[in-house]
Structure 1
Amino acid sequence: MSDTGYGDFEFERRFFVRTPPMELLAEPEPVLIVQSYFLAQDGYALRLRVQADGLQLPLGPDADPLAVLEEARDAFEFCAVTLKGPMNVGTRYEAEREIDVTVGIEMIRRGGHRIVKNRYAVWLGADGWVVDVFGGENAPLVVAECERSGPVTDLQIPAFCVTELTDDARFANDGLARAPYSGWAADFEAELREQGPRFLTDFGHNDLQRRG
């Protein structure tokens, strides 16, 4: 439980990124993440995650999460099991407990719907952001996320954010584990062309940085 007064609730906003900034991808210590969802339904999820700090592997559409798990087995230094509830206007219940890395790796090997990604961190304005570059069946999807200890209001939204995904369950990691992006990317691009970008207005003022 956190000490923010909100307990095990997380506050975040997520955005679709077409081209992440090169300076972000030059981050000296990215994080390699492999996750497996043993339950992912109606917004509820049970997830196991292993991660290796400072390790970046090429993750194209042919990247197999299990192969990556084996290749980086000795580099993983953190594992956690997490329970998640449905997203509700940028707020989601998320309770996490660290577990033994070896046990976590073996459980991920044995089941669940898996995803793999490289995560990059950057400080933009007053907020810390993470940018996830997905591999395997979710390549070439890139998602940027801003998370705070309270509601993410009056956000300065970087120019590389194309449109908001916060309320789109398809782009939640548990959604991507069950229905990978590659299976419906063309439909999403068609939606984006037809409807244009959108940014939610439930979070105060959106300060959209100038787009080139």
Structure 2
Amino acid sequence: MTDGGYGDFEFERRFLVRDMPEELRDAPALIVQSYYLADEGYALRLRATAPGVDAPMDAGTDAVTLLDRYASEVDLCTLTVKGPMAGGTRYEAEREVDVAVGLQMIRRGGSRIVKTRWSVWLGDDGWVVDVFGGADHPLVVAECERSGPVTDLQIPAFCVTELTDDPRFSNDALASRPFAGWRTAYAAELAASGPRFLQDFGRNERLAGP
């Protein structure tokens, strides 16, 4: 997280992605996260990151199996305390922990999620696109994070609808209530309501496809 003068707060907007364009598949990283607390937006998270690992994500993906397979590639473990999201802003205090200790803690407990993260530059912003595995497959979420409020955003064409204010799609919520269990109900909900993009953050601009 970059400190833009706001201390331990992050600013982001998040979107559902239906089909990630192949042209954007660059700079992958395997991420395994374990949540030791996830309740009403408050979370305690341990994350292991293995850069350069393009691990395929499907419903059968097992977080610990992948963690063991690519343990030698993990170069960063972080412990993070999070508060609830409010208007695209969330408290987040993070510190780096020893990789060996972090890996052992993730193996030993918590509610885990696994994903491949892709980093791309689109329009005026850097974006990450998370492709989830295991019980959260086939969920794909795009996120733009800035060091201050995310206003006047250029939204990529592959973003289907905005998830910023939907707590069901936070990673900590997905760890305890995986997407597979309510995917069908959400698809019906989206079909009935149609896509939505928040209007409280200045002017939204849709980018053309790649």
Query: Are residues 57 and 198 of structure 1, via their aligned partners in 2, closer, same or farther at CA, if it must alter by over 3 Å?
Result: same
Q: Does 1:75 align with 2:73?
A: yes
1:99 & 1:77 partners in 2: Cα distance?
A: 11
Match of 2:5 in 1: 5
Amino acid at match of 1:150: G
Contact 1:119-1:132 at 8 Å conserved across structures: yes
2:37 & 2:175 partners in 1: Cα distance?
A: 10
Q: Does 1:130 align with 2:128?
A: yes
- Relative to the length of structure 1, the TM-score reads 0.96
Aligned residue for 2:57, secondary structure, equals coil
**Deviations for 1:10-37, whole angstroms, at most 9, x for unmatched residues?**
0000000000111112x1x311000000
Q: Does 1:200 align with 2:193?
A: no
1:89 & 1:62 partners in 2: Cα distance?
A: 34
User: 1:208 deviation in Å?
Assistant: 2.1
2:187 & 2:49 partners in 1: Cα distance?
A: 30
**Deviations for 1:103-149, whole angstroms, at most 9, x for unmatched residues?**
00110111100000000011011100000000011011000000000
1:179 & 1:70 partners in 2: Cα distance?
A: 24
RMSD: 1.4
The aligned runs of 1:84-95 (5 Å cut-off) are 84-95=82-93
Aligned residue for 2:157, secondary structure, equals coil
Amino acid at match of 2:42: Y
1:59 & 1:144 partners in 2: Cα distance?
A: 16
2:113 & 2:162 partners in 1: Cα distance?
A: 21
- Relative to the length of structure 2, the TM-score reads 0.97
Equivalent position to 1:158, from 148, 156, 159 = 156
1:99 & 1:3 partners in 2: Cα distance?
A: 19
Query: Are residues 180 and 58 of structure 1, via their aligned partners in 2, closer, same or farther at CA, if it must alter by over 3 Å?
Result: same
Amino acid at match of 2:52: G
User: 1:171 deviation in Å?
Assistant: 0.5
2:45 & 2:13 partners in 1: Cα distance?
A: 20
**Deviations for 1:66-96, whole angstroms, at most 9, x for unmatched residues?**
1111111111110000000000000000010
Amino acid at match of 1:112: G
Deviates more, 1:36-45 or 1:67-76: 67-76
Q: Does 1:170 align with 2:192?
A: no
Runs of 5+ unmatched residues, structure 1: none
Aligned residue for 2:24, secondary structure, equals helix
User: 1:210 deviation in Å?
Assistant: 5.0
Aligned residue for 1:137, secondary structure, equals helix
1:34 & 1:67 partners in 2: Cα distance?
A: 10
Amino acid at match of 1:10: E
1:119 & 1:189 partners in 2: Cα distance?
A: 23
1:2 & 1:207 partners in 2: Cα distance?
A: 24
Contact 1:2-1:8 at 8 Å conserved across structures: no
Query: Are residues 62 and 154 of structure 1, via their aligned partners in 2, closer, same or farther at CA, if it must alter by over 3 Å?
Result: same
How many residues in Structure 1 have an aligned counterpart in Structure 2? 210
Match of 2:19 in 1: 19
2:64 & 2:23 partners in 1: Cα distance?
A: 29
Match of 2:119 in 1: 121
1:86 & 1:165 partners in 2: Cα distance?
A: 14
2:153 & 2:168 partners in 1: Cα distance?
A: 23
Runs of 4+ in structure 1 deviating by more than 4 angstroms, as ranges, are none
